[in-house]
Homo-oligomer: A and B are copies of this chain.
Amino acid sequence: MSTDHSTAILTMTTEKLSREESLKGIFHQHRDGNPLPSAKALQEIIELSRSILFPGYYGMSSVNIKTIKYHIGVNVERLHKLLADQIMAGLCFADECSEETYEKLNVRRCESEQLATQIIEKLPVIRATLATDVEAAYCGDPAAESVGEIISCYPVIKALTNYRIAHELTVLGVPLIPRMMTEMAHSETGIDIHPGAQIGHHFTIDHGTGVVIGATCIIGNNVKLYQGVTLGAKSFPLDENGNPIKGIARHPIIEDNVVVYSNATILGRITIGHDCVVGANIWVTEDMEPETKKYKKA
């Protein structure tokens, strides 16, 4: 009898959880055939991208210069297909209009494939930039024994690979997908970079856990951060309804050759001038002149 009772509760709960009022605000009804972006597909996109950008280190452990083209060719083709599908899912997700026609779907499908092609086309440049990031990490860490160790192990390389692809997607106007990609890196490395941020070459982060880089940050070249650094917003204006106004520049500008030590917090649309040094555990809410240093008094 108790199991009958239990079954009754399960079916009643199923009913409750399926009612439209219960689903309000946590359920986005989709048109048939237009699924939401898939975390699983994005995971495969990340793995393929790493495998293409750093062959031998990710995805295929035995590579030969004579046959590498086959592997990259297969991976590029697969990546294109997966990206086109997920970009399509992102575009459908963001689009509010409910009357979907086949014509509109076709237009969007074409657009998604073209966007995916544009991302693929940027991979050689992305790889070149990531190579500078690898170099910066190697030169900046006495514990690193080889460039290969940086590529294989260092969380910053994983986080930047996701970020640099996600940023290009953001520039192209693709919604949702870029954020999902950088949050995957956040979960994996503890480094939270918003895909909207702009970051120059030879960028590195040591250790990385707890680093936050906000959506409107602008970071120059040869910048180095340590673990726990926050580049955040100080406060944000609300509109007449009390909601935060979106799209306002509210995060710091970090110029070239800046170093920010662990757990420092830099807040607001301020500028940290080139060649500055920001000490550990300190709190900065005002501009710093170029080539100045700010340390905590112990």
Binding site for B on A (CB under 8 A): 2-3, 5-7, 9-11, 13-18, 20, 22-30, 32-39, 52-58, 61-74, 76-77, 80, 89, 93-94, 102, 106, 110, 113-114, 117, 120-121, 123-124, 127-128, 130-131, 134-135, 139-143, 145-149, 151-155, 175-176, 179-180, 183, 186-190, 192, 194, 196, 207, 209-210, 212, 214-215, 226-228, 230, 232-233, 236, 242-248, 250, 262-263, 265, 267, 280-281, 283-286, 296, 298
A273 → chain B, closest Cβ, in Å?
A: 17
Residue of B nearest to A38 (CB): B61
Q: How far is the CA of A190 from the CA of B209 in the complex (A)?
A: 6
Task: Enumerate chain B residues within 8 angstroms of A262, measured Cβ to Cβ.
Answer: 212, 230, 232, 265
Given contacts A127-B17, A140-B244, A244-B140, contact A25 B146 (CB under 8 A): no
Q: How far is the CA of A121 from the CA of B12 in the complex (A)?
A: 9
The 8 Å CB contact of A152, one of B15, B36, B69, is B36
Q: Is the CB of A56 within 8 A of B73?
A: no
Q: Is the CB of A280 within 8 A of B281?
A: no
Task: Enumerate chain B residues within 8 angstroms of A120, measured Cβ to Cβ.
Answer: 9-10, 13
Q: How far is the CA of A281 from the CA of B229 in the complex (A)?
A: 11
Residue of B nearest to A23 (CB): B55
Q: Is the CB of B14 within 8 A of A33?
A: no
Given contacts A25-B147, A65-B20, A134-B26, contact A180 B152 (CB under 8 A): yes
A122 → chain B, closest Cβ, in Å?
A: 9
Q: Which 4 A-B pairs have the closest CB atoms?
A: A70-B73, A35-B61, A142-B244, A35-B62
Q: How far is the CA of A20 from the CA of B63 in the complex (A)?
A: 13
Q: How far is the CA of A63 from the CA of B74 in the complex (A)?
A: 11
Task: Enumerate chain B residues within 8 angstroms of A214, measured Cβ to Cβ.
Answer: 143
Q: Is the CB of A153 within 8 A of B127?
A: no
A270 → chain B, closest Cβ, in Å?
A: 12
Q: Is the CB of B123 within 8 A of A13?
A: yes
Residue of B nearest to A230 (CB): B262
Q: Is the CB of B212 within 8 A of A227?
A: yes
